[in-house]
Amino acid sequence: MSKPGPDRILVTGASGFIGGSLLSLLARDVHLLPRAAVRLNEADLNLPVGVERVPVGDLAADTNWMEALRRIDTIVHTAARVHIMRDDAPEPLVEFRRVNVDGTWNLARQAAESGVRRFIFISSIKVNGEGTELGKPYRADDIPAPADAYGISKHEAEQGLQQVARATGMEVVIIRPVLVYGPGVKANFHTMMRWLHKGIPLPLGVTQNRRSFVALENLLHLIVTCIQHPAAADQTFLVSDGEDLSTAELLRRTAAAMGVRARLLPVPAPVLLVAARFLGKVDLAQRLCGTLQVDIGATRELLGWAPPVSADQALRRTALHFLANLPMSLPVQP
- List 150, 181, 213, 322, catalytic entry: 150
**Angstrom distance (rounded) from CA 149 to CA 23:** 29
**Angstrom distance (rounded) from CA 71 to CA 167:** 21
Q: Do 117 and 176 meet the contact criterion of CB atoms below 8 Å apart?
A: no
Over its C-alpha atoms, the chain yields an Rg (Å, rounded) of 20
Concatenated DSSP letters of 225-267 = HHHH-GGGTT-EEEE--S--B-HHHHHHHHHHHHTS---B---
Classify 187 in phi/psi space as left (phi over 0), alpha (psi -120 to 50) or beta: left
**Angstrom distance (rounded) from CA 34 to CA 18:** 14
φ/ψ of 59, rounded to 5, equals: -75, 100
φ/ψ of 32, rounded to 5, equals: -130, 140
**Angstrom distance (rounded) from CA 281 to CA 103:** 32
Q: If residue 9 lies in a helix (H) or strand (E), which one and from where to where? A: strand 7-12
| Burial of 298 from C-beta contacts in 10 A (0-12 / 13-18 / 19+) | middle
**Angstrom distance (rounded) from CA 128 to CA 294:** 10
Residues 6+ apart with CB under 8 A from 249: none
Would you call 138 a catalytic residue per the annotation? no
**Angstrom distance (rounded) from CA 67 to CA 54:** 8
**Angstrom distance (rounded) from CA 329 to CA 73:** 48
Active site residues: 150
